[in-house]
Chain A
Amino acid sequence: MSRSSEPLGAVLTSLSLLLLIIPWSLGGAYTAEEGAGDAHAGHGGPGEMSAGQFMAITILFEENNWDADAGIVVAPDPGWMVMGGERMSMNPVYLAAYQWGYSPAEIQLEAGVEYQFRMMTMDVYHGASVSTDSGSQMVRLIPGVVIEQRLTFDEPGEYTLYCSYYCGEQHNGMSGKIVVV
């Protein structure tokens, strides 16, 4: 490139980078969805609730779904309703995160069934990520915010639920289990 072609080269290079924006935008690369923290599987948005209120609902959820042999067993949703244009589960899965564990710590679900998770941290930032054979879904829980996410586990097995956001000295051990039958 000679000096005489300098401005042209610079402009062309800059433009070629800028032109990336057009196809990527058309492909939706820059388009965030409401509640993007829900990962791709969920389309619900965050809501606000106090930690105490959420914990009370979670305890109720645990009592309603308690099985003496298998612990917390969540039956397939009896149906979904539409509220404000948003599909809402009639029987969502409640999950509370705290230093350093989850309540409930273990949940049994059925394979191939879509569940709506409602999650919230009781104290500091946490993660509620799920490990699968092909990678993980990363979810971040922020104080004061209910995160909603719809999940379908196609394969039976045990999935690790783990904290992916540093939450203090015992962060290493903060995990739970999702058993899919």
Chain B
Amino acid sequence: MAEQGDDSTIEHASGRFEASLSSLAEEDRRLLKAFVLVSIFTLGLGVLYALLLVLVKGGFLSLESTLAYTILTLHGTTVFYYWLYFVQVAVVMVFVLVYTDGVDELVWRNLAWAGFGLMSAGFLIDQIAPWMGAVITYTGLAPLSDGMPGADWFYVGYVLLGLGLLCVSIPCIATPIKAKLDGKVESWSSITFAATLWAALLTVTSFAALNVFGRTALWALEGGGPMDFDYMIAYHVMFHNMHYLPLLSTVLVWYALAEVTTGVKSIFSDRLSKVFFAFYLVVLPPTFLYHMFLDPTISALMKTVASTLAMFISIPTIMVFVIILVSLEASARVSEGRQGLFAWMRDLPWGNPAFSSIAAACVCAAAGGVLANILIQVKFAALLSDTFAIPAYFHFFTVGTISLTFIGLLMYVIPILYGRQLWNPKLMAQLPWALTVGVYLFGVSGIAAGYLGSPRRTLAPEYDLHASIPLLNALVGLGGIIMAIVLLLFVYGLVRTLRSGEEAGVGEVTANLPTVRWEPAEPGAVKAPTATIVMFVALAALFALTWLTFSMVGDLPG
């Protein structure tokens, strides 16, 4: 979403985005293509692993235990660390290059290529190491890995990933800074600001990754034995940022795609958006301890502080969502003159697959956000930590919100980079809603199973738990199958686009993606009652569901 004051409203934002991305230096386009291609490959591979896992979880397929946990390790590693980071680097590079005035090429591009090489090498190693015997989940559990063949290589793969991320983060920071120092841009756009912020946080996180995985790799290479540091604390310091960075970049994509698909600019000030983006940097790092509420070695005071601080994390996400929603509603009412509470929503570009992706992502984020608010509170640890409720909850975010949002942006980026129109946009516009159905079925069933005691990272327990769990697991499996099929269809559609999509000239590539052309609302010209109501309903739901969960804690068995 561009800033107010941008006077290029004659041409549609979609066309401006296409023209800007098309005009990048050929070397930058090649780099972006490399990241995009590998990200699609990692997504497809990770989803194939997931398909096997949900078949086992649902009771539809039986796999030997070692094989099943090898695939679980591969799934988490492939989708969380490699899909999400290859695609995010591509997204942030696109934003830095397209949304920063005066930038004509990526600074220190060779360093970014080195990062790509290191990340790719890490990916290959981490695909092989689990087959060698490092069956330690994507967390790389130590000291469980002590003596496991391939464990040392597994950590070396993660070290290369950390080095690679460090290498790519630096050009993403240097490029907009150089434009500023050269006087080519007076003030960064909100998107440039947030993309640079993301890269800065990635730099810090890369060092945290090198700290934990470097030390663990050395420990494993030296033959294991007693560890001289607490792996789980060091891991969660790194992991906490690693799993919130995608949320920041997701919100950023919403911000950009809302404008690309509707032409609507933020009706709020530039500074307001920047403040909320910057808020992530303040609230994320100190809250990592909420991952360790079941760890009795962490003091009660530390857990209390972490639990309290974690409450703040939802604020920037909700506020950026509100900025987008209010801007869309106010501009729609001005442009279309619609009356009534919801009539304006009919005019949104639902047939645009990128728009439907971010819309469905918001529907998934609503459930994920409410559940997150419950799970970060220390009192609930005894009820839900280490149960399947955790993966059931986080798939609302990792699949339904984050991955879907990035796929939405790829539906613009890939056609533009390859000069080919998106394959079957009508089908691609429906897929996000099918994915949402799968995510909700998987998530709700999984949380219910978790509440009844179904443990996480346990694929086919050989003992009896609550009588309802097998049925709930079958529903989890069904939801997971829907998710996997839809994601594979996305991958197929994107690959089909770049291989054999209809060739089109600059300005025509995205012409088959329907958009609306709304004029930005003038200050004070119109009110946005729907957005206001949605905001307060969301807050009321947050209060009510948290209160409900409090009452559930009182009913814990004992």
Contact = CB atoms under 8 A, between A and B. Distances in A.
Contacts of A18: 311-312, 315
Contact of B464 (A14, A160, A168): A160
Interface in B518-536: 521-528, 531-532, 535
A125 interface: yes
A131 B465 contact: yes
Interface string B453-475: 10111111111111000000000
A135 B293 contact: no
Interface stretch (B12-20, B192-200, B265-273): B265-273
A135 B451 CA distance: 6
A53 interface: no
Given A14-B319, A35-B296, A2 B524 contact: yes
A6 B557 contact: no
Interface stretch (B100-108, B421-429, B539-547): B539-547
A104 interface: no
Interface string A121-148: 0001101011111111111101101010
Contact of B308 (A30, A152, A165): A30
A137 B383 CA distance: 7
Given A13-B535, A133-B466, A171-B458, A138 B382 contact: yes
Given A135-B453, A136-B452, A166-B457, A2 B378 contact: no
Interface string A157-179: 00010111111111111010000
A180 B526 CA distance: 68
A166 B464 CA distance: 17
B386 interface: yes
A170 B460 CA distance: 10
Interface residues of B, number: 80
A30 B378 contact: yes
Contacts, number: 228
Given A32-B307, A135-B452, A140-B386, A162 B69 contact: no
Contact of A3 (B319, B451, B524, B557): B524
A32 B303 contact: yes
B531 A137 contact: no
* Among B143, B146, B453, B522: residue with most chain A CB under 10 A: B453
Contacts of B384: 138
Given A6-B272, A136-B387, A143-B143, A39 B296 contact: no
A177 B150 CA distance: 35
Interface string A34-69: 111111110001100000000000000000000000
Contacts of B451: 135
Contacts of A21: 308, 311
Contact of A168 (B135, B294, B295): B135
A130 B452 CA distance: 11
Given A13-B319, A28-B379, A29-B377, A167 B308 contact: no
Contacts of B521: 3
Contacts of A130: 557
Interface in A2-24: 2-4, 6-7, 9-10, 13-14, 16-18, 20-21, 24
Contacts of A46: 296-297
Interface size class of A (residues with CB under 8 A): 35 or more
B524 A170 contact: no
A133 B294 CA distance: 22
A170 B67 CA distance: 11
Interface string B292-333: 011111011101100110011011001100100010001000
A66 B278 CA distance: 63
Contacts of B343: none
B378 A142 contact: no
Interface string A107-126: 00000000000000000110
Given A13-B322, A125-B141, 17 more contacts: A3-B524, A10-B322, A29-B379, A36-B300, A39-B556, A41-B556, A125-B144, A129-B455, A131-B466, A135-B556, A135-B557, A138-B382, A138-B385, A138-B453, A145-B297, A162-B465, A166-B457
Interface of B: 65-66, 69, 135, 137, 141, 143-144, 146, 267-269, 272, 293-297, 299-301, 303-304, 307-308, 311-312, 314-315, 318-319, 322, 326, 330, 377-379, 381-387, 451-453, 455-466, 521-528, 531-532, 535, 539, 542-543, 546, 550, 553, 555-558
Interface of A: 1-4, 6-7, 9-10, 13-14, 16-18, 20-21, 24-25, 27-41, 45-46, 124-125, 127, 129-140, 142-143, 145, 147, 151-152, 160, 162-173, 175
9 contacts: A2-B528, A17-B311, A18-B312, A25-B308, A38-B296, A135-B466, A138-B385, A140-B296, A142-B295
7 closest Cβ pairs, A-B complex: A136-B453, A41-B558, A3-B523, A32-B303, A39-B382, A166-B457, A164-B455
